[in-house]
Amino acid sequence: MTTNTKPRGLEGIVAAETRLSHVDGQNGILIVAGYSIEDLAAHATFEEVAHLLWRGHLPNASELKDLSSQMAEQRELLPVTLEILRSAAKAPPIDALRMACATLSLGLKDPNAVTHEADFAAAIRLTACFPTIVAAHARFAKGEKPIAPRRDLSLAANFLYMVLGREPDAVAAKALDSYWVTVMDHGMNASTFTARVIASTRSDLVSSVTGALGALKGPLHGGAPGPVLDMLRDIKTSANAEPWIRNELAQGRRIMGFGHRVYKVRDPRAEVLSRVAEKMQGAKLENRELFELARQVEQTALRVLNELKPGRNLRTNVEFYTALVLQAVGLEPTQFVAMFACGRVAGWCAHVIEQHEQDHLIRPQSEYTGPIDLKTNR
């Protein structure tokens, strides 16, 4: 009997060369275009990091003003997109975003062009419109009319204005901006690979990103920040944390917010978002008791996981503090995956741009394992 040593799911196979991000799972390091994610999240805005990924350098003041203005001008949705969102009011936000994303090519000068300028134009359009789509769908889901975007606000602040219907809290807007920076790019994950495969056929950027959204929807990739809140609400108090966690593990269930396919130490994005959540304290944004409970549950979970699953290195991942940050700014758990997409879209666009530059078809081989001698007997 032979042992199949071939990697499953292309695991460990280098599929592309990229300047965009580097993930070091053994040491808990994430580098985005040369910068540590901790540095970018603390000192750069979403628009600045998008420019970094698309153009290869952080923008100067003039470049940032130009990009921010272009994004602000591209935020409004076409009537056809709004109609789709109205029709999909009861659908999950990630499904509505996927449906609406495909219509964004209608607002482009040449949606099928595969050129630098066409890609940059499409990247700006998609990145500007994703928050508008999610906000409009949230309003439709409540039976309310969408709120038109404003051009005088940052992307994050404008989103909060559109979804909540009031002047955005500056601390909340900064927290959301930092979250989007933190999740903007993360190596050759499933959705990014999907986008690159589509782009490698010389398909357009909108088609590539629409495919990426389909990959993100899958629970093995899109994550589970919503269930982290369910877990905390079930636990209720720090005294209940250990027996609750032990019971879940005894039943063979996962502890949400812990463990990662790549990271064998604490996810650096969890460290960033932990600091973001801490900075939100004092603002009228979240339940302080929930935050304190999360801190205590985290320490208890790490201790119990290390005891019961030694060697598995099940450390805190990005989902754990994502849940705290997003609920703190007033969002519902059903919106969390779509909110992740609002940050990751800039990274997807960067990978499509890079794949178009490389212009090489991604065409892996497969090994046939079925029969070869069947007859129809006709």
Which residues are known to be catalytic?
260, 319
Would you call 35 helix, strand, or coil by DSSP?
strand
Tokens of 342: 């609002």
Rounded Cα distance between 175 and 169, Å, is 10
Are the C-beta atoms of residues 169 and 114 closer than 8 Å to each other? no
Taking CA atoms, 148 is separated from 145, 162, 173, 177, 321, in Å, by: 9, 7, 18, 20, 30
Q: Is 367 exposed, middle or buried (0-12, 13-18, 19+ CB in 10 A)?
A: exposed
- Residue 22, helix vs strand vs coil: strand
Closest C-alpha to 331, from 81, 36, 54, 93: 93
Q: Take residue 57 and report the two structure tokens written for it.
A: 């350098």
